[in-house]
Amino acid sequence: MSKQIKVYPTEPLKCWDEAKTLRKNYYEDYLNAHNKGGIRWAGGAWTFSAIPAGLGNDVYCITGEPYGATIAFYKDFASKCHDATEAAGFPRTLCAYMRNYWGAILLDKFILADGSVIDGYPAPDFIWQDHICCSHGKWYQVVKWLEKKKGKEVPMYCVDVSVGYSLEPSEPIEEYKKDYIIQQLNDGIDWLEKVTGRKYDDKLLCEAVWNEIRATSLWAEICALNQAIPAPLDEKTMYSLYVMGTLMKHKPECVAFYERLKEETKDRVKRGIAAVPYERFRVITDTQPPWGFLKIFREMEKYGVVSLGSLYTFGLIGMWEYKPDGTWVPKPLPPNKPKTREEALRAIVEWTLNKPEWAHFYRPELKTKMMKSIVDQWKADAVLLHYNRGCEGLSVHIAENRLGLLEAGVQVFPFEGNMGDEREFDLAGTLGRLTVFFESMGLKKIVE
Amino acid sequence: MITAGVDIGAKIVKVVILDNGKVIGRGKALVGFDVGKSASDLFETVLKNASLSRNNVKKVVATGTGRESVHNKPPVNAEEVVSEVVADAVGAFYLVPTVRTVIDVGAEEGRGVKVGEGGKVKDFVINERCAAGAGTFIETMARALEVKVEEMGPLSLKSTQTIPMNAQCCVFAESEVVTLIHSKVSKEDISKAIHDAIASRIGSMVLRVGVEKDVVLIGGPALNPGFLPPLKRELNTDIIVPEYPEYVSALGAAIIAAKDGV
């Protein structure tokens, strides 16, 4: 090891076990919901999950993308899911999460957070989804169709959220666009009462909406703490933490967890505790990683490289905004907690519409701008761009983001892969190219 | 000071011995199943031809896909390893100080390197997944045409027509060549189609990092007279091919060794 390399103190994250338990319980609660007299529903991680919460405290969901990622992490099961989906006639060019999810239904198997696979896929009682990316538009239509083939009729409701995007406070999204979504949510509540036979509770709705707003703001605050040198968190670890916001952003457990995590991260910053002991080169990534190959991050650490996060990790769930001085900061909470259904629906729509990871669906330069802000504010030296064949939604325009970053003077390393289908990721080749990139940045391996 | 560069590619290993900036020995050999032994045997042969021993060489730097096979392992005992991209840039800059773009075509990999001041790498691109943009492609197609690989270039220069080849993969491209053979297309025209195809793939790859003059082509296929014309057309620029283009990466490694590190 070179004498010149500074070594920062490190220590394990105290919240780690709690994160594991929360995620474990999440899948088990969904699986066992009926045994407890509860309801289970399915939808995407971006869906307005606070709305079904008004049906009661015994309502459990499974969000599709994190479930697809869980499958991807367990490559043997993922391989079986791919085979089943392709045998059913679906092409492998589709969203990899979606194929993993459909594969589990086709196999009639359910995987839990620890990788154990059990027989019988637990069909949802209803589907509650929103539409922004093209895969989301079709995902649950096929789920409904697959469940029907197995003899179960699953009612489905979808909310169209594709009304545009604004990064500029001076150009807010028009009221009629918000009203369009609020009306769909109002109709959706009537629909939920009808398909479940339950009376809707507006107090539970208001609590869930406020939880979601707090959780997604808290996550952004945690990510902002990673501007510190050394970074208190690395992205591989953050994947296990941000996921709570994709599973249960409307739940009090999520808020409580993020509050504890924020305090712990602040303490790490104060004491100079690093995620990577040899930190000397800071990068950010983009889009989902190839989930079956997260060891890439450990390889990077051998060069003293820390991945601080990404627009994906920060903004898939975390909520941000631009201040008048041009800095990108965690979005502050609205002044008041909603007290009525109308207030709650308006609050959650206004909060959600400027989700950072929705920007690129409309204009790639908005995404480039936010990525450049992260590079500047988090003091990143380079961007690793995953040309992710498994996700059309988050990869759309990514080559334009590369050009935009290059024009802004940012070092960019693109690599091809797939977040959920290991057949489309070349580990050795990618590691080889990463080595070249790091060498070209003047880095050498510090530890073997 | 005597230093050495060892470039262990997918198919050929190259060794360059440098004495105060002057090449005093070079050699190349096929890489066998035992990659380390192939490199070591050649290294010792080149040293012997130059009347040297390992003790006379102050530092050895290895590069290429097999570089780890000689890293701190006798008899080569390369003290350092560097990537091909870095070695390409340093070697090309040494030979052509005005270079801004290096195109390195090896047996199974093509690379484009944007070079900055002092031979530093500014950006790079490497072909993904298939050898359809590399030397092995020409070899495979030569077998399909039943000609020697060194005949491919001269044959293509005798072509009278342009035939597009669309396949993006070596295996499918071979099927396409077989179809052309059955269609009674001449070997000359098929050979040109093959060189056009590889130039198109390399060209479009290099354009991803941008082409800035001077452009230097290195690697074994740079010796192929049929490859340079279509690549020039593809990139719409002059291309410099230095003497001994296949040794440039090994030369770069030897220069890095002389600088005592990257």
What CATH number is associated with residue B46? Answer: 3.30.420.40
**Distance between B112 CA and the closest CA of chain A, angstroms:** 12
**Distance between A420 CA and the closest CA of chain B, angstroms:** 18
Is B107 inside any structural domain? yes
Same domain, B115 and B162: yes
Same domain, B112 and B225: yes
3-state secondary structure of B214: coil
Interface test with A, best of B128, B130, B259 (most A CBs within 10 A): B128
Chain A with chain B: Cβ pairs closer than 8 A: 33
* pLDDT of res. A330: 97
* pLDDT of res. B106: 87
The Cα diameter of chain B in Å comes to 60
> Which chain A residues in 209-268 lie under 8 Å from chain B, judged by CB atoms?
none
Same domain, B54 and B106: no
pLDDT in tens, A178-230: 999 999 999 999 999 999 999 999 999 999 999 999 999 999 999 999 999 99
Mean pLDDT for B159-181 is: 79
* pLDDT of res. B260: 65
Mean pLDDT for A20-47 is: 96
Q: Average the pLDDT over each of A28-37, A69-78, B188-197, B249-258 and give the range with the smallest value.
A: B188-197
Is B91 inside any structural domain? no
**Distance between B93 CA and the closest CA of chain A, angstroms:** 15
Cα separation, B79 vs B53, whole angstroms: 16
Measured between beta carbons, which residues in chain B are less than 8 angstroms from residue A406? 123
Measured between beta carbons, which residues in chain B are less than 8 angstroms from residue A444? 262
> Which chain A residues in 387-416 lie under 8 Å from chain B, judged by CB atoms?
406, 411, 416
* pLDDT of res. B168: 63
ipTM over 0.85? The verdict is no
Instruction: Search chain B and give the residue with CA nearest A438.
Output: B83
Are A440 and B85 within 8 A, CB to CB? yes
| Three state DSSP letters for chain A | CCCCCCCCCECCCCCHHHHHHHHHHHHHHHHHHHHHCCEEEEECCCCCCCCHHHHCCCEEEEEHHHHHHHHHHCHHHHHHHHHHHHHCCCCCCCCHHHHHHHHHHHHCEEECCCCCEEECCCCCCEEEEEECCHHHHHHHHHHHHHHHHCCCCCCEEEEECCCCCCCCCCCCCCHHHHHHHHHHHHHHHHHHHHHHCCCCCHHHHHHHHHHHHHHHHHHHHHHHHHHCCCCCCCHHHHHHHHHHHHHHCCCHHHHHHHHHHHHHHHHHHHHCCECCCCCCEEEEEECCCCHHHCHHHHHHHCCCEEEEEEHHHHHCCCCEEECCCCCEEECCCCCCCCCCHHHHHHHHHHHHCCCHHHHHHCCHHHHHHHHHHHHHHCCCCEEEEEEECCCHHHHCCHHHHHHHHHHCCCEEEEEEECCCCHHHCCHHHHHHHHHHHHHHCCCCCCCC
Same domain, B237 and B182: yes
Same domain, B148 and B48: no
**Sequence-ordered list of residues with C-beta below 8 angstroms from that of A291, at least 6 positions apart, any chain:** A69, A72, A73, A419, A420
Mean pLDDT for A416-445 is: 90
- How would residue B171 be classed by pLDDT, with cut points 50, 70 and 90? confident
Decide if pLDDT at B60 tops 90. Answer: yes
* pLDDT of res. A130: 94
Instruction: Tell me how many domains chain B contains.
Output: 2
Measured between beta carbons, which residues in chain B are less than 8 angstroms from residue A435? 83
* Mean pLDDT computed over every residue of chain B: 90
* pLDDT of res. B129: 61
Is B165 inside any structural domain? yes
Closest to B86 (Cβ–Cβ): which among A416, A426, A439?
A439
**Distance between A436 CA and the closest CA of chain B, angstroms:** 5
Is B192 inside any structural domain? yes
Are B86 and A426 within 8 A, CB to CB? no
User: What is the domain extent for residue B45?
Assistant: 2-85+247-258
Are B262 and A437 within 8 A, CB to CB? no
pTM of the model as a whole: 0.87
pLDDT in tens, A66-90: 999 999 999 999 999 999 999 999 9
* pLDDT of res. A190: 98
* Mean pLDDT computed over every residue of chain A: 95
Q: Are A215 and A258 in contact (CB under 8 A)?
A: yes
- How would residue B128 be classed by pLDDT, with cut points 50, 70 and 90? low
Percentage of chain B lying above the pLDDT 90 cut = 64
pLDDT in tens, A279-317: 999 999 999 999 989 999 999 999 999 999 999 999 999
Closest to B128 (Cβ–Cβ): which among A416, A436, A442?
A416
Are A436 and B124 within 8 A, CB to CB? yes
DSSP annotation of B133 = G
* pLDDT of res. A237: 97
Residue A379 or residue B130, greater confidence: A379
Decide if pLDDT at A137 tops 90. Answer: no
| Chain B touched by A439 (CB under 8 Å) | yes
| Chain B touched by A335 (CB under 8 Å) | no
Mean pLDDT for B80-88 is: 94
Cross-strand bridge partners of residue A416 = A387
pLDDT in tens, A74-132: 999 999 999 999 999 999 999 999 999 999 999 999 999 999 999 999 999 999 999 88
pLDDT in tens, A314-332: 999 999 999 999 999 999 9
Is B45 inside any structural domain? yes
Are A416 and B82 within 8 A, CB to CB? no
Cα separation, B228 vs B210, whole angstroms: 18
- How would residue A271 be classed by pLDDT, with cut points 50, 70 and 90? very high
Kindly list the domain boundaries of chain A, sorted by start residue: 16-440
Are A429 and B128 within 8 A, CB to CB? yes
* pLDDT of res. A100: 96
Decide if pLDDT at A2 tops 50. Answer: no
Same domain, B111 and B77: no
Same domain, B73 and B110: no
* pLDDT of res. A167: 83
Phi, psi of A322 (to 5 degrees): -90, 130
Are B83 and A439 within 8 A, CB to CB? yes
Interface test with B, best of A383, A386, A423, A436 (most B CBs within 10 A): A436
* pLDDT of res. B261: 43
Measured between beta carbons, which residues in chain A are less than 8 angstroms from residue B209? none
* pLDDT of res. B1: 92
- How would residue B183 be classed by pLDDT, with cut points 50, 70 and 90? confident
Same domain, B137 and B77: no
Same domain, B130 and B226: yes
Decide if pLDDT at A1 tops 50. Answer: no
- For chain B, the residues whose C-beta falls within 8 A of a C-beta of chain A are 65, 82-86, 120-121, 123-124, 126, 128-129, 262
